[in-house]
């Protein structure tokens, strides 16, 4: 929790009210990034205790057919939060400097809803707060629990390892692309656009070793809706 003391005050569209050096509340209108990440005003928040399927990730239904679980998770979080005023309790920072938080829309715990509806795993490596809700979703065969689904952390790890071996900058597979509008957007190996993204270093595009390096250099993650 020591990183909480260094949260920057967001400009204009978000506010951070600190009750102490160990606790902060971020408030502002939300823009959804993916199924477990959103921007609250100018502050990027990763939802505490959960891990949603990645954009482009597919899962299996009970009949064995594939469905776009990553897209559905992102869309559901957007239904709940997009453009709405949220309050997020900052709990920690992750290795990339993002705030880890518990976000609410009024009395509704968004983290909990995503797990309850089977659109995210309880991220037990870091917290067991939503373990009971995951057990109920699994018992009910909801969402990711209706058939085979690779946990998001394994999905990321498998793709990272393959891409890191193939990268021209060894161990640094993140692609820093500049689109036709001049926006600097980075793609991790689990991005659905990763394979089709080509890097031209002569035009200022580049490779990164982790997401913090990319964001520190001025690149941002893509929005998936």
Task: Give the H or E element holding residue 100.
Answer: strand 99-105
Alpha-carbon span 108 to 92, nearest angstrom: 21
193, 176 Cβ separation under 8 angstroms: no
160, 86 Cβ separation under 8 angstroms: no
Q: Measured in whole angstroms, how far is the alpha carbon of residue 87 from the centre of its chain?
A: 17
Q: What is the pLDDT of residues 18-67, one digit of tens each?
A: 444 356 999 999 999 999 999 999 999 999 999 999 999 999 999 999 99
CATH class of the region 2-147: mainly beta
Contacts of 124 by beta carbon, 8 Å cutoff, 6+ apart? 131
**Digitized pLDDT (tens) for each residue of the chain, 225 residues in all:** 334 433 333 333 344 444 443 569 999 999 999 999 999 999 999 999 999 999 999 999 999 999 999 999 999 999 999 999 999 999 999 887 889 999 999 999 999 999 999 999 999 999 999 999 999 999 999 999 999 999 999 999 999 999 999 999 999 999 999 999 999 999 999 999 999 999 999 999 999 999 999 999 999 999 987
pLDDT at 22: 54
In the chain, which ranges are continuous DSSP H helix? 69-81, 110-116, 131-139, 152-166, 211-216
CA-wise closest residue to 216 among 202, 224, 206: 206
Contacts 24+ apart (CB under 8 A), 126-133: 126/48, 126/49, 127/48, 127/49, 128/49, 129/48, 129/49, 130/49, 130/50
pLDDT at 10: 39
Q: How many CB atoms are located within 10 Å of the residue 52 CB?
A: 27
Q: Where are the domains of the chain?
A: 2-147, 153-216
Alpha-carbon span 191 to 164, nearest angstrom: 14
Token pair recorded at residue 154: 């394994």
Token pair recorded at residue 60: 């299996």
């Amino acid at each position: 929790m020591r990183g909480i003391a260094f949260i920057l005050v967001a400009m204009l569209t978000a506010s951070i009210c600190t009750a102490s050096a160990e606790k902060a509340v971020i408030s502002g209108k939300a823009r959804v990034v993916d199924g477990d990440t959103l921007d609250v005003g100018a502050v990027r928040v990763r939802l505490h205790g959960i891990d949603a399927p990645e954009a482009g990730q597919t899962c299996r239904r009970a009949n064995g057919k594939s469905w776009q679980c990553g897209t559905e998770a992102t869309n559901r979080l957007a239904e709940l939060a997009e453009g709405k005023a949220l309050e997020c309790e900052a709990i920690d920072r992750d290795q990339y400097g993002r705030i880890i938080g518990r976000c609410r829309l009024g009395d509704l715990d968004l983290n909990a809803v995503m797990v309850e509806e089977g659109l995210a795993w309880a991220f037990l490596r870091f917290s067991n707060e939503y373990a009971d809700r995951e057990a109920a979703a699994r018992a009910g065969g909801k969402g990711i629990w209706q058939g085979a689904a690779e946990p998001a952390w394994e999905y990321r790890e498998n793709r990272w390892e393959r891409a890191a071996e193939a990268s021209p900058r060894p161990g640094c597979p993140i692609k820093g692309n500049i689109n036709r509008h001049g926006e600097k957007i980075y793609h991790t190996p689990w991005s659905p656009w990763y394979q089709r993204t080509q890097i031209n270093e002569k035009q200022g595009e580049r490779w990164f070793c982790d997401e913090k390096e990319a964001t520190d250099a001025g690149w941002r993650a893509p929005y998936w809706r």
